[in-house]
Each structure stands twice: as C-alpha cells, then as structure tokens.
Structure 1
Amino acid sequence: MAKERFPIHVEGSGDASGYAHERVLVSLERAQGFGQLKNLPCKLPVGCRRGGCGICRVRVVAGEFRADTMSRAHVSADDEREGLVLSCCIYPLSELSLRLEPAVAVKDKGQKAAKEA
C-alpha cells in the first residue's frame, strides 16, 4: 500500500512534502536538511515538539490538515480557526501552503481575570 504524500509550500522559503501520518514540522525539518528550504533566513524554529512551547507557529494559508491538541497559551481557539497553528501538531491531508509566524504567548482570559483581582 502506497503512503499518501502531499506537497507543502513554505511562503518565501521553498517546498517540502509530507505524509498524512507525519507531523508537518518533521516534513519541514527533513526538507531543510536536504536543502529544499533554501530561503529560510535561519534554522527552522523548533522547541518541545509536543504543542506546548509555541515556537513552531505557522499560518496555514491554504489546504486541509488534521490537528492534535495545542497549548492555548500559544494558539487561541480563534487563531486555530483562522489557520494559525503549531507545525508540530498538524498533519497534512492535502497540499498545504504555510507562512512561518513568530512565537507569541496568547493571554488566557482566566489569567487576565486573576491578574486584575
């Protein structure tokens, strides 16, 4: 049985490909290792690899993916609905177009209320 492979385009940086069972971050790391993401200004941002640190934030500009749980401290529910996700937590289901995004902490409403009290 052939494993389904999908093209992954990284805006301004190059192209990779990934499998439906493989995290997009792993696909991007492999592509960088093979010199396919030549226009990345620096090494691909990688942190905990489990959705907790927020370093590998990307915006899915086009395409379908499956997502694991991500830390709401780094990706709010609204962000996720708008395609802002962590590349270590998504798996391609079609061709993807991505834009690398800076890592930022999202303020949780509960944290805000506790701080104001």
Structure 2
Amino acid sequence: MGESYQVTEQYSGQTFRCKAGQSVLKAMEQQGLKCVPVGCRGGGCGFCKVAVLSGDYACGKMSRVHVPPEVLAQGEVLACRIYPLTDLIIECRPQQPAARLTNEHTTTIVMR
C-alpha cells in the first residue's frame, strides 16, 4: 500500500488517513466524515474551507475570492485542493448557512 498521512481535526479529535496525492476532502468523504460542506470539489466554491494548524501540504489552484493571498498565508485553504506531505492538524471552518444560501438557491431559465 502507498504512503498515507494522518489528518486530525482539532476540535472533534476525529482522525483519518489520507493517501499521498489524495485531497483531504476526498479522504474525508471516502471515510464518511462530514467536517465541512461539499460543493464543486474543484476549488471554486469555497465551501470546504479548513485551517491547517500543523503540517506540510501541497496546494492546488483555488478561488482567490474564497482564499485570497492573505488568508492563504494564515493557513486557510480549501480541503478539496490540499494534498498532505506530512501528518496534518486541521480545523474545519465551514461557511455560515447565510453565506451558502445564494449558492444553494439558484434558478435556471430555459429559453424556447
């Protein structure tokens, strides 16, 4: 089996394994954990924001609207776009329900 890292959520104490090259969000989902809400899984929606309190990780592209450079410098990232390089300690920071409301209630207009 390939290398994996332990990820610990600071407040709940929940731990899970994340394979090398696998996103933290994907590892959470595969193990049935619901630390953060899930949106696009591609770094664009900002739903799966976490703070990395300890450990090293590689970071993929993510929306600067949801993770501007000053926030990224403080360790706030999107779980769908980080890949552990060592064991991690994270803190889940889901958006407040009111902030998600506009994304959850969209209308599709069909032109005929």
Instruction: Normalising by structure 1, report the TM-score.
Output: 0.75
Tell me which residue corresponds to 2:5: 6
Tell me which residue corresponds to 2:37: 45
For 1:82 and 1:44, the matched residues in 2 are separated by 19
Equivalent residue for 1:59, pick from 35, 41, 51: 51
Q: Is the 8 A contact 1:54 1:75 kept in 2?
A: yes
- CA deviations on 1:35-81 (whole Å, 9 max, x unpaired) are xx5xx6xx641000000000000000000000001101100111111
Task: Specify the SS of the correspondent of 1:69.
Answer: coil
Tell me which residue corresponds to 2:30: 30
For 1:49 and 1:25, the matched residues in 2 are separated by 8
Equivalent residue for 1:71, pick from 54, 58, 63: 63
- CA deviations on 1:17-37 (whole Å, 9 max, x unpaired) are 101210110111122x2xxx5
What are the residue-to-residue correspondences of 1:76-115 with 2, within 5 Å? 76-103=68-95
Aligned AA for 2:89?
Answer: S
For 1:102 and 1:6, the matched residues in 2 are separated by 23
Instruction: Normalising by structure 2, report the TM-score.
Output: 0.78
Report the CA distance shift for 1:57/1:44 in structure 2 as closer, same or farther (over 3 A): closer
For 1:75 and 1:84, the matched residues in 2 are separated by 7
Task: Specify the SS of the correspondent of 2:95.
Answer: coil
For 1:75 and 1:68, the matched residues in 2 are separated by 12
Q: What is the deviation of 1:86?
A: 0.1
For 2:41 and 2:17, the matched residues in 1 are separated by 19
Tell me which residue corresponds to 1:19: 19
Name stretches of at least 5 consecutive residues in structure 1 with no aligned partner: 106-117
For 1:65 and 1:99, the matched residues in 2 are separated by 15
For 1:65 and 1:30, the matched residues in 2 are separated by 19
